[in-house]
Chains A and B, each alone.
Chain A
Amino acid sequence: MPRIVVIGGGATGCGVARDLSLRGYKVILIEFGDLGSGTSSRFHGMLQSGARYVVSDTNYAAECYREREIISRIIPEAVELIGGVFVSLKNEEENYSQQFVKCCDKAKIPCEEIASKDLLKNEKELTSDISRVFKVPDAIINPWKLVNALAEEITKLGGEIILNHQVVSIKHKDNFVNSVEIINKNGIKKNILCDGVINASGAWSGKIANLFDQDVSLELTKGSIMVFSHRIVSLAVNRCRMPSSNDIMCPSGTVSLWGTTSQVVDNPNTTKVNPDEIQKLLKGAEELFPKIRDYRSFRAWAGVRPIVKPKNFNKDLPLPRSHSVIDHQKEGLNNILTVCGGSLTTHRSMAEDVVNQIGTKLGINKQCETSEVVISDSVKSNWNSTSYFKKIEKEKNYNDLICECELITKKDIEDVMKNEEIIDFHNIRRRVRVGFGPCQGTFCNSRLANLLVGKKYDFDIEESILNFWAERLKGSISTAYGDQAKQILLSDYIFQENFGLNLNSISTNEDEVRS
């Protein structure tokens, strides 16, 4: 079977590599940083029912719903089927909600109208200014669980995953790509021979395409999200209006996520949340949650969505969200495809599409199996605060809590450290949520360092503590008000005043920190 290089270790890249592996291809996946460290983990965490796009793009909405069904069946441990509601406010026009109901029917998305008082019985923080409520099967997904489970399966099927490597050149001979050159952070280069390439690097697709002198017409929009402490809502709450900014509140783990903004950017690495975005987000959130400014927000982050821009598109309409497969044959290369657009919800069908197309090119006729093969048959994910305690009781790890906010034990960390690819604190953070809680790593950071120093890791430990804090600070400083302002100064008290670290001694271009 042919060897295919997949570029990008987000949901799409991992989905493509899994699909290829199941069809018997030899797969090498290249990721610049860590799995799921780009856009895949920088969104509101919703596994779409499709209802959000049902009026603006009914076909895409129907695809979302089909995919939501498949994803929640093949990897139940990453998905919580919490359900969602679309609410219209009393001063809003009736027009959209009427269309919404019709289009849900057309896209076959189950949608049931319920009385607003029934919703308000459970959702105490919502405004009472609600006129209509539609219940839909929205779900939420843990992106890291998803990509790590996909990666595990890829490895089991014989595929290779190379993290922390950047693609520097794509070489071709007689209109066929034959190798991809990659480089690691220490400047060591490797050349990977292949029979085909799939560019699944999302917002970075354009940068990759530039390596073989191609353009991918993408519109990069930055979406910022605010994190609030606790589950303010138990369902995903959406505004019932044309999808735009400021319209989703999603519970996730121990927090709630409010988003998003939308701002066109040039650089896919742009992840800094601007002050005006925070004010816009708060203003928008106030319409649904009148007391939102009193809640503790412990950070904000941004992700960059890659949306394929059709030619001659009407600027007044929302950009279509469906994906595209770009064949670079026209420009003279026969065995390289770019897949982009879409969303995490549709990553599997995107993969199916692009792998079908590369099969046609290479003369391989194998059926897609990704919707049938179950990735893990472990128990359904059902978040509740006591699950952590149960685990600690079972493992008798009462005194080993490294991170009290997220209840992460020493054993959890040691298990993750067995993975060869762990090269910094952020890799650990993404796998076990250490440092994700309200204190944003204030108390677990140095404990983590003490566990790691002297082990197989030879990185500069002080710099790691500082970098971990700097990264946490970057997200939390943009919401430095209320209790979080106190928290940030407490962290500063501990890191600079007590530990003797100096934040100015690390010079990072904050927009370029992709962690």
Chain B
Amino acid sequence: MKTDVIIIGAELDAFVTSIRLNELGFNTRIFSSGKGSLLYSLGNIKILNLVETINEKNSPFSLFDNLKLNHPYNIIGKENVKKSIDWFFSLNFFNRIKINQYSYNINTLSPIGRKIPCIGLYYKQICFNDLKNQEISIVEFENHKDFHSELIAKSIKKIAKSIEIIKIQQPDDSKNSDSSSLAISFDNLASSENYFNSLKKRLNKNSSIVIFPAVLGLNKYIKVIQTAEKILNKKCVEAPTLPPSIPAIRLNLDLEKEVMEHNNLHKGSVISKAKIENNKCLYLMDNFERIFNADAFVMSNGGVLMGGIKVYSNGDIRENIFNPKIQNNNHLLKDKSSESLNALQTSGVLTNNKLNPFLDDDSIINNVFYTGRNLANWNPSTEFSGEGISIASGWYTANNIAEYMESL
């Protein structure tokens, strides 16, 4: 089978590009070196909120005017970003996870109990405002070290009517300390009815909301939490654990499954070289010098965070496959740590408005596209925009590739 498009990376932006390309009638081949950074997210969808003017209930799109002109959202264009987000929420293949879309930023909780603004919550993800004036039971599993029940309790104390923390045994007797094993033990639970029945006796009778750590199963999570609600007769929600987090794994698995049904996914492959001629990439080569042909190529390999872009000890920053022009903000030369960090975050690949990379002589490679954290001039940490940029740049790139293919 001829490959239309090769995508490097297996993160949200890569999956989105692949799914959208399939919709537009193209197949893809994806190269992944292993895990993507999606696993460190909380499983919710953040589009935009600025840390310096953080505000509840604003629309992410009302904040676009505050962004610099070279910000990826401005390169992609507000209308395109809106379309891409709506498109993402309309995808209906999710099995393990359901995502609810909001038109404004609502607050979920972070693993330490702070508010996180987002416009997409997965099914039964904790929502800060729902906790107001409620009697709350927080459930913690013995030995599970990555759920910070005490921190969350402290944080919601101000708004809740009452809080209790209940420590209970795990579904099996393996005494798992990590979230993944715990989630799998819920999948394997013979009777979740019995398990929640025994929990019922221990909960405060008057509590209206039960907060569980977000580990209630990987594949059967929706069923598990519905059983919990039925047996306990209370609203049950999941609060995030220290990443890597289970909701992000559920999302990742769903996306990966969808992509693998229609495309080739190579895990553990490392692409090291590209052949470029007349502003066009002809083929890619992996570490074993095997050649991979396609009409277009997408770089979704996670920027500096995931090693798609490399930082050298003398301060050089390079993307070694295509050697595009890099926005290097000289992070090693800044005076303050926070300035260095921001400079490192906002360094990245410079592109034209189709997300084609510029080369040193200001020419571009027409059939190569960069997405997500590879792009320069945005900072997911101060903008709460991580998932939004991935979705928007992935969707936009797929559309641009379709346009490019038509022109061939």
Contacts and interface: CB of A to CB of B under 8 A. Distances in A.
Same assembly: yes
Interface of A: 275, 278-279, 282, 293, 398-402, 410, 443, 446-447, 449-451, 453-454, 461-462, 465, 470, 473-474, 477-478, 480-482, 485-486, 488-490, 492-494, 496-504, 510
Q: Lowest 9 A-B CB distances belong to which pairs?
A: A496-B381, A500-B114, A399-B177, A485-B311, A450-B148, A489-B305, A500-B110, A293-B313, A503-B338
Given A449-B151, A500-B115, 15 more contacts: A275-B315, A278-B313, A398-B175, A398-B177, A443-B242, A446-B242, A477-B331, A477-B337, A481-B332, A488-B341, A490-B37, A494-B243, A496-B381, A497-B384, A499-B111
B380 interface: yes
7 contacts: A454-B150, A462-B112, A486-B305, A493-B381, A498-B243, A501-B112, A502-B51
B174 to A, nearest CB: 9
B112 A275 contact: no
Given A446-B112, A454-B150, A480-B344, A493 B305 contact: yes
Nearest to A487: B305
A446 B41 contact: no
B341 A477 contact: yes
A489 B310 CA distance: 12
Contact of A473 (B111, B240, B335, B341): B341
Decide if the interface of chain A is mainly helix, strand, loop or mixed: helix
A505 to B, nearest CB: 9
A473 B337 contact: yes
Contacts of B390: none
A502 B114 CA distance: 11
A490 B40 CA distance: 8
B149 interface: yes
Nearest to B152: A450
B328 to A, nearest CB: 12
B97 interface: no
Contact of A482 (B143, B243, B311): B311
A237 B291 CA distance: 46
Nearest to B115: A500
Contacts of B143: 399-400
B20 to A, nearest CB: 24
Contact of A447 (B146, B332, B382, B386): B146
Contacts of B51: 496, 502, 504
A275 B148 contact: no
Given A449-B148, A493-B381, A501 B176 contact: no
B304 to A, nearest CB: 6
A465 B151 CA distance: 11
A447 B333 CA distance: 32
Contacts of B111: 446, 498-499
B321 to A, nearest CB: 17
B312 interface: yes
Contacts of A480: 311, 331-332, 340, 344
A468 to B, nearest CB: 12
A379 to B, nearest CB: 30
B282 interface: no
Contacts of A401: 145, 177
B154 interface: yes
Interface string B143-179: 1011011110110000000000000000000011100
Nearest to A491: B341
Nearest to A450: B148
B306 A486 contact: yes
Interface in B104-147: 110-112, 114-116, 143, 145-146
Contacts of A275: 315, 332-333
A497 B382 CA distance: 7
B116 to A, nearest CB: 5
A26 B28 CA distance: 79
Contacts of A400: 143, 145, 177
B225 interface: no
Contact of B114 (A410, A450, A499): A499
A486 B151 CA distance: 27
Contacts of B150: 450-451, 453-454
Contacts of A488: 341, 344
Contact of A498 (B41, B151, B332): B41
A402 B148 CA distance: 12
A446 B341 contact: no
B2 interface: no
B345 interface: yes
B314 interface: yes
B154 A454 contact: yes
Given A470-B337, A486-B304, A494-B243, A399 B110 contact: no
B110 A499 contact: yes
A443 B242 CA distance: 8
A462 B154 CA distance: 10
A449 B382 CA distance: 23
B307 interface: yes
B313 A492 contact: no
B8 interface: no
